[in-house]
Amino acid sequence: MDERQEVKSLKKALRALTFLNCHGEATVTEVASAIGVPRTTSHRLLETLASEGYVEKQSHSNIYRLTSLVQKLSSGFGGSDLVVELAKPLITRIGGHILWPLALATPQGCDMMVRIATDHDTPVAIDRYLIGFRTPMLHAPAGLCYLAFCEDGARASILNLVRRNGSAAEQSRDADADLEFTLEQTRRLGYCHIRFAQYREGGLAVPVFADNRVVGGIVMRYMKASMKGHQVEERYVPILQKLADDISAAYDRRVNGADAGQSQDHGDLTLSADDVVSTPAPFWISGTSPIHQGAVHQGRAVDGLHRASR
């Protein structure tokens, strides 16, 4: 940003709030030294913050401390927002290696909303989705991952919402006996793989966890003609699971401390040229395949809507 557009006094006030947040309380001199301003400037900043109710000066002292009002500054920032913040550089890095478009989606009602997307950073995306794009949860691999791993009460609430307000296609999908099969398979395998018959792209998704609860899913889209279903799973499930583990570990470190939340060991992942572009293969349709548990198995064909109306 052009420095001429910055409000420098606001930047100083935010640095003062950050310092107080880390130390609990401080004198005018301590704040001045910490944020690199004269003592008189520090005094004006703290008095201004006090007049707005964010800090208070202790009686008969020169010590200032935060008030509960500062909690309102973060009331709109939830756990999933922190996950998005921490996930962006990790997803961008892996997306740059594998080229297939990656996205992180989190639940919004009975939809999944794209929070991070690499579509515009890769030449192999058939369709390009913007951040904020929403797709029905029951027709998105990341949404099925979320439904499979969320608490029973949350799952029941979402499905009830679909029954009341969802489209005819969503309600049909909810009533489909294959839905419970797909959710159970996803829980067992740890991923969801869908190759819809009427679309050129397939979707492979894994859940993302924070504080031991699912908060969303990472999905990789790819051209179905480039690989068979089992090849997609063999090559990319370990990469996506390691990525999801790294995001969870970064969240744990931020929330609980630098030594918390070590990611699970999926081994060292070396991305080869085969992980980027594969040779064309015959058209093949599969459901969720349990190769992560051992032998390759061709699941039942999965049909439905791949995406919401654009």
Q: CB 71: neighbour CB atoms within 10 A?
A: 9
DSSP state of 262: P
In the chain, CATH 3.30.450.40 sits at 79-293
Q: CB 161: neighbour CB atoms within 10 A?
A: 15
Least confident of 23-27, 88-92, 135-139: 23-27
Most confident option among 39-43, 78-82, 306-310: 39-43
Sign of the Cα torsion 258, 259, 261, 262 reads positive
Q: Does the domain formed by 3-74 have CATH 1.10.10.10?
A: yes
pLDDT digits (tens, 9 = 90+) for 185-209: 999 999 999 988 888 999 999 999 9
Cα distance between residue 10 and residue 75, in whole Å: 20
Nearest to 227 by CA among 124, 75, 88, 139: 124
CATH number belonging to domain 79-293: 3.30.450.40
In the chain, CATH 1.10.10.10 sits at 3-74
Mean pLDDT of 69-96: 82
Structure tokens at 151: 């608490």
pLDDT digits (tens, 9 = 90+) for 93-120: 999 999 999 999 999 888 999 999 999 8
